[in-house]
Amino acid sequence: MLLSAGFVSGLGAATRYPAGIIVVIPSLYLLLNRQGDSEDRDKGFLGRFQAFVAGPLWLIAFGFVAGLFIGHPEFFLNFRGVIDAIAGETLKYASLQEFNTDKLFNFSVIWKYISHLIPFAMYPFLWLVPYCAILYLGFRRNLYSQSVPILIFSLLYLYFMAKGYLGPYFARATMLLFPGFCVLVGIAYNDLWSRLSKQRTVAVLLSSAFVLLVGPSVVFDLAYVHAMRKKDARLVLRYDLEKMIGESPAIIGVSRFGPYFYTVMPAAEPLESDKVIVQLQDPGQKADFFLIGFTGPIDPARLNATVRTVEAQGRFSYEKGYSVRPKLFGRELRLARFPSDMTYPFPTILLFRGKTET
């Protein structure tokens, strides 16, 4: 089991997120567990620490290294290349200034993870289940040996990720918390069930509340995945541009507005050739087509305002808008406040055609 824990943590560390600190879970469990045999209980914390260093620590360390090698062998085979990649690519998303002395105890960005990012990552009500479980376990001292290691890991992960990452924009940054949340929910639910199972009415209400909290999130996920299975707006736009351009030379202008590199460029760049030029520009510059990308669905008022602004330059006329809008029971899901990586599959792209000179 300990070897497996280290192995999993090694695989986690090979991902883009600092999953290596997951090794603290089995380590803290062994150090804090006071429910073992009488010999372990008599040792006290110092004795358990010495026994841990002499034995289980090496199993965890070996599993960590083995998992790291299997998950990302370049760490060992091309260490310099990995360091260069981290320095040149990964570190540009790091906000290391958050670890300055005057900001070490500034927890505002961590609160954004707790109050915004995690709830939207588990939308709409699923996040209440682990939050309630954590609150409950805070009052169950007899379960601390099981819950505290996971809680410490979760807090450590939140601290380093929230303060060291670019910002609270990506729900995927919280994915590594989910397995720990599941364990905490299981511990709390098992304890509650053992205490309330003889009270049938309370047990039924508890189970019903769990289903009512989980059910809407499952329905939301189904609607979200169903919308993702539709043809991507960027792909539809690319096919339309191919038909419009044909064999003629053309200039495709792309607005510098927002993260154009993933809203518009996946549609425009594949068309670039000897005859087709793709360039970043403003709406006042000349081109055969002009594209503006938004990170998610936009309301009619914003669409109309954008069209008026572009057409006022006199170079382009509005042709068509492209977007996929997730719907639930016929009603459109509002994704404006969702994390960026959850709106990534559903950009809105506006296509303008250049006016012919007379």
Do residues 355 and 314 lie in contact, with contact meaning Cβ atoms separated by under 8 Å? yes
Q: Is 189 left (phi over 0), alpha (psi -120 to 50) or beta?
A: alpha
User: Which range is least confidently modeled, 38-47, 110-119, 279-288?
Assistant: 38-47
Does residue 107 have a pLDDT over 60?
yes
Whether omega for the bond prior to residue 339 falls within 30 degrees of 0, making it cis, is no
Task: Please report the pLDDT score of residue 96 as a whole number.
Answer: 76
Q: List CB contacts of 188: < 8 A, sequence separation 6 or more.
A: 132, 133, 136, 137, 140
User: Which range is least confidently modeled, 27-41, 163-177, 195-209, 329-343?
Assistant: 27-41
In this prediction, residue 54 has a pLDDT band, given cuts at 50, 70 and 90, of low
Average pLDDT over residues 177-188: 91
Task: Please report the pLDDT score of residue 332 as a whole number.
Answer: 87
The whole-chain average pLDDT of the chain stands at 82
Could you write out the DSSP letters of every residue in 73-140? THHHHSHHHHHHHHHHTGGGG--GGGGSGGGTT--HHHHHIIIIIHHHHTTTTTTHHHHHHHHHHTT-
Q: List CB contacts of 245: < 8 A, sequence separation 6 or more.
A: 271, 276, 288
Closest CA relative to residue 246, chosen from 268, 276, 266: 276
pLDDT tens for 247-288 read: 899 999 999 988 899 999 999 999 999 999 999 999 999 999
Helix count and strand count (H, E) for the chain: 17, 7
User: Which range is least confidently modeled, 24-28, 85-89, 96-100?
Assistant: 24-28
Task: Please report the pLDDT score of residue 47 as a whole number.
Answer: 62
Q: What is the residue extent of each domain of the chain?
A: 1-93, 104-229, 233-354
In this prediction, residue 35 has a pLDDT band, given cuts at 50, 70 and 90, of low
- What type of residue is 12? G
In this prediction, residue 59 has a pLDDT band, given cuts at 50, 70 and 90, of low
